[in-house]
Structure 1
Amino acid sequence: MDSAASFINHFNLAVFLLFITLYAYQIVYMFISFKAKKKLRSESGRDPGRLHKFAVTIAARNEELVIGQLIQSIKNQNYPGELIDIFVVADNCTDYTARAAREAGAVVRERFSKNRIGKGYALNYIFQAIEKDYASNQYDAYLVFDADNLLDENYAARMNDVFNEGYRVITSYRNSKNFDQNWISSGYALWFMHEAEYLNLPRIFTNNSCAVSGTGFLVDADLIKENGGWIHHLLTEDIEFSVSQVIKGDKIGYCRDAVFYDEQPVTFKQSWTQRLRWAKGFYQVFGRYGKNLFRSIFKGKQNKFSCYDLAMTIFPALLLSFLSIVVNGSFFLAGIFEFMEAEETMKATMTAMFQSLGWMYGILFILGFLTTLTEWKEIHCPGWKKVAYTVTFPLFMLTYVPIAAAALFKDVQWKPIAHTVVKSVDDVR
């Protein structure tokens, strides 16, 4: 039994060291972020006098409750109104999304398809419609949002500044409309803030590429033309787009002063469905682009570290945690069936399992705590909730482990998430 206990301890240590080896750079990123926060200020780009013309694109499916607030926040921008046009694709809608968007002042196209389902197809549809019917407007870039988003009044101006620095793709600071609803919505919100300030900020500060995360990003109109439209249709079209562009040599920028607010799921069923799609989509992207990413790490002429960074982003590392749980659980069950002779094996296995969970909880707590501390003023809810949700954040993140395992075997289809939080930017604040 001593050998079994020794094996469990060594196995868990090996898994832990592998995690540390693969993701140690993200610990370094956190220290870089502290330095970057002190140095970077709200500054305009290298050509602050140039104001670009933007086409705002919104893919919406049954979003009649919230789309009006997004369009109003776009109209409230501290940016010349004649340089922003708003386009909505009402995608397979069965409600009054199209009517609500038109009444709010957007140009609306309705799309219906039983076979081509998903945001990627909707984006391609609206990009093609703009190119066909509004080519004379000569847009410099597209701003891409989901219908449940809200924009800070300086969003367009700040994105314009960074666009003047030469980036062809730019992501922004993702805040949340409903941080304070429960442990699920706050879990999402804290992670997106962490992603913005502790991944994308140090990436841009060290001249590496960021990654697009779902919504709230800018893409150069010429890039869309070069690609022949929006050609990314895996379950996570955002990370597919990011990986594809970085392999080609593009560096994705980050504008921390362009703030938008996103609505997060509040039930575990909604969250499971959404994150199951994300996990499956990451597997799809890894299967399609993983080989080229790893090749670019060693043989590419540029973006080598960015390729490694994105490879680790889509690498199915959570399966290592699941494997660890399976191995530890198997030894524990074996100990039960061997009765009294297995007492030491069971004790060692239980100790190892609790130690592993403790380490994971502790690391995730530190991530959530630091993010809460540095982004305190950006989190719009009572102070006691901010503290409480720092404690529940690791639990939210640990639920990714069974989700990642289920996604490996389950056939996952794109499904819409209902959005019902009707707020203005002032309401959120």
Structure 2
Amino acid sequence: MLELISYFNFVLALTISAAYFYQLVYLMYGLVSLRKPWIFVAQKQHRYAVMISARNEEEVIGELIGSLTSQNYPRELLDIYVVADNCTDDTAGAARRAGATVYERFDTVHKGKGYALGYLLHELKADIGESGYDGFFVFDADNIIAPNFVNEMNKVFDTGDYQALTSYRNSKNFADNWISAGYGLWFMREARFLNFPRMLIGTNCAISGTGFLISAEVVQQNGGWPYHLLTEDIEFSANCALKGQRIGYCETAVLYDEQPVTFKQSWDQRLRWSKGFYQVDFKYGLSLLKGCFTNKTNKFSCYDMLMTVAPGMLLTLVMLAMNLMLLVTCFTEPAYIARRIFHEASGAVISAIVMFYISLFTFGAATTITEWKKIAATTKQKIFYTFTFPLFLFTYVPIAIVALVRKVEWRPIKHTAMSAAQVPGMRSAMAEEATRS
């Protein structure tokens, strides 16, 4: 019995470690590749449409549109569209006053960003036609983007090598508390130690919610935006891996995103993300697994995306649950057997928790060190939040369990009005841009 438990724990730990070992290779790439390995120079300035899905975002939508109309890019080549989705406030009016073209949508059955983007693309096709734009940007209403964002994205897009691009996601409110800092480090880690290495080795990057660009060609091939799962961004990324459509990354295109600061908001948001990952895994998991062996051009991209959506945490939870159950039941056994079971099971539980914390702390510390100058916080805050980062991710454990059994729907998150001048990173970017001009 004890030998079987020990063997099970060893095999499961070895399997998880082997499956995600490649991310340690990504970590090494992110640490040692300090010099930018690519320089892009655009030969053409393309025409783009900006798509913003907004629900009751009256307070913040104007700041995003203001940062878009202030871009260091020809204004006539950047059209801004907002879909006011089931709004009960004056989001539509605020967006129009800021300079956007607004479409209002009311559909309480098909709710969520994916449906809203699909609706907007359908309306644009009817009003402008399929050849109106070279690409489509997607932003969330609470974003503020750096003055050179579109120009930098255009440089990479103009190479013609990528059908979609993602950007560098920074935070408007990193230092508010351990929750907002947890989000901030996670997105910076995603940029530095996932998409940056992916770009280096030539495999597919992954879209992350906001601040991305899709080519008009892909939109036409897909017949619009047919991605309606709770995590439509990951669904799109998985589909690109399967189809061989390349997603690139532009490190110099920076956006600032507002993070939740209350645990209730964070719980609701991450519950939706967790449920959405399960949905993507259920819909695309087998195809991605097959693609790891049969895809002619994207075998590793399929594997990378499979590991991204795979419920690896559930395997860890299975191991923890089994050992905790043994700890409870061992007291019904004779004393000498109970001691041996307790030693084996408790050791496995403690070891799993410690290793989990160490690995997450390592990623958090590496991110803090490499992105130090980009983090808008004091030195003490940066150090403190590096230690709380694993605790933030530990809270995914109950979220992952609840997401398995509960029906989850998209819920709006209240955002706080913050001007571009109030965002520390934006202040320096605006000052730099003013100096150039």
The TM-score bracket by the shorter chain reads: over 0.9
Give the Cα–Cα distance (whole angstroms) in 1 for the partners of residues 384 and 32 of structure 2: 28
Q: Please, which runs of 5 or more residues in structure 1 have no aligned partner?
A: none
* Map 1:296-375 → 2, pairs under 5 A: 296-338=291-333, 340-341=335-336, 342-375=338-371
Amino acid at match of 2:409: Q
SS in 2 for 1:192: helix
2:138 aligns with 144
1:85 aligns with 79
Give the Cα–Cα distance (whole angstroms) in 2 for the partners of residues 129 and 107 of structure 1: 12
Give the Cα–Cα distance (whole angstroms) in 1 for the partners of residues 296 and 122 of structure 2: 33
**In the TM superposition, what is the alpha-carbon distance from 1:81 to its structure 2 partner?**
1.1
1:36 aligns with 33
1:75 aligns with 69
Is 1:266 the counterpart of 2:233? The answer is no
Is 1:423 the counterpart of 2:419? The answer is yes
Give the Cα–Cα distance (whole angstroms) in 2 for the partners of residues 384 and 11 of structure 1: 42
Post-superposition Cα deviations, 1:328-387, rounded to whole Å, max 9, x if no partner, equal: 110111124448552342243223211210111000000000000000011011111111
2:395 aligns with 399
2:243 aligns with 248
Post-superposition Cα deviations, 1:7-35, rounded to whole Å, max 9, x if no partner, equal: 44443332221111101111111112234
Give the Cα–Cα distance (whole angstroms) in 1 for the partners of residues 172 and 305 of structure 2: 28
TM value normalised by structure 1: 0.95
TM value normalised by structure 2: 0.93
SS in 2 for 1:214: coil
2:405 aligns with 409
Give the Cα–Cα distance (whole angstroms) in 1 for the partners of residues 334 and 349 of structure 2: 20
Q: Tell me if the contact between 1:177 and 1:421 (Cα under 8 Å) persists in the aligned partners.
A: no
Q: Tell me if the contact between 2:61 and 2:142 (Cα under 8 Å) persists in the aligned partners.
A: yes
Give the Cα–Cα distance (whole angstroms) in 2 for the partners of residues 323 and 425 of structure 1: 48
Q: Tell me if the contact between 2:138 and 2:213 (Cα under 8 Å) persists in the aligned partners.
A: yes
Q: Tell me if the contact between 1:321 and 1:401 (Cα under 8 Å) persists in the aligned partners.
A: no
2:45 aligns with 51
Post-superposition Cα deviations, 1:34-58, rounded to whole Å, max 9, x if no partner, equal: 34332435x324xx23101111110
Q: Tell me if the contact between 1:123 and 1:230 (Cα under 8 Å) persists in the aligned partners.
A: yes
Is 1:103 the counterpart of 2:100? The answer is no
Amino acid at match of 2:390: P
* Map 1:207-218 → 2, pairs under 5 A: 207-218=202-213
Post-superposition Cα deviations, 1:39-85, rounded to whole Å, max 9, x if no partner, equal: 435x324xx23101111110001111111111111111111111111
1:61 aligns with 55
Post-superposition Cα deviations, 1:214-246, rounded to whole Å, max 9, x if no partner, equal: 111000112112211110101111111111122
Q: Tell me if the contact between 1:12 and 1:356 (Cα under 8 Å) persists in the aligned partners.
A: no
**In the TM superposition, what is the alpha-carbon distance from 1:135 to its structure 2 partner?**
3.3
Amino acid at match of 1:321: T
1:19 aligns with 16
Give the Cα–Cα distance (whole angstroms) in 1 for the partners of residues 114 and 130 of structure 2: 25
Picking from 181, 186, 206, the partner of 1:186 is 181
Give the Cα–Cα distance (whole angstroms) in 1 for the partners of residues 180 and 85 of structure 2: 25
1:171 aligns with 166
**In the TM superposition, what is the alpha-carbon distance from 1:428 to its structure 2 partner?**
3.2
Corresponding residue pairs, total = 423
Picking from 148, 167, 192, the partner of 1:154 is 148
Q: CA RMSD in A?
A: 1.6
Post-superposition Cα deviations, 1:107-133, rounded to whole Å, max 9, x if no partner, equal: 111100011101011001111122222
Q: Tell me if the contact between 1:63 and 1:419 (Cα under 8 Å) persists in the aligned partners.
A: yes
Give the Cα–Cα distance (whole angstroms) in 2 for the partners of residues 79 and 66 of structure 1: 23
**In the TM superposition, what is the alpha-carbon distance from 1:168 to its structure 2 partner?**
1.3
Give the Cα–Cα distance (whole angstroms) in 1 for the partners of residues 176 and 333 of structure 2: 47
Amino acid at match of 2:224: G
Moved more, 332-341 or 188-197: 332-341
Give the Cα–Cα distance (whole angstroms) in 2 for the partners of residues 421 and 37 of structure 1: 35
Give the Cα–Cα distance (whole angstroms) in 1 for the partners of residues 223 and 423 of structure 2: 40
Give the Cα–Cα distance (whole angstroms) in 2 for the partners of residues 60 and 267 of structure 1: 21
Give the Cα–Cα distance (whole angstroms) in 1 for the partners of residues 307 and 417 of structure 2: 34
Q: Tell me if the contact between 2:209 and 2:233 (Cα under 8 Å) persists in the aligned partners.
A: yes
Moved more, 246-255 or 347-356: 347-356
Give the Cα–Cα distance (whole angstroms) in 2 for the partners of residues 9 and 353 of structure 1: 12
**In the TM superposition, what is the alpha-carbon distance from 1:137 to its structure 2 partner?**
7.9
Q: Please, which runs of 5 or more residues in structure 2 have no aligned partner?
A: 426-437
Give the Cα–Cα distance (whole angstroms) in 2 for the partners of residues 273 and 181 of structure 1: 19
Give % identity: 49
Is 1:222 the counterpart of 2:253? The answer is no
Give the Cα–Cα distance (whole angstroms) in 2 for the partners of residues 142 and 136 of structure 1: 12
Amino acid at match of 1:410: R
Moved more, 358-367 or 74-83: 74-83
Amino acid at match of 2:413: I
1:114 aligns with 108
1:205 aligns with 200
1:385 aligns with 381
Q: Tell me if the contact between 2:130 and 2:220 (Cα under 8 Å) persists in the aligned partners.
A: no
Give the Cα–Cα distance (whole angstroms) in 1 for the partners of residues 348 and 277 of structure 2: 29
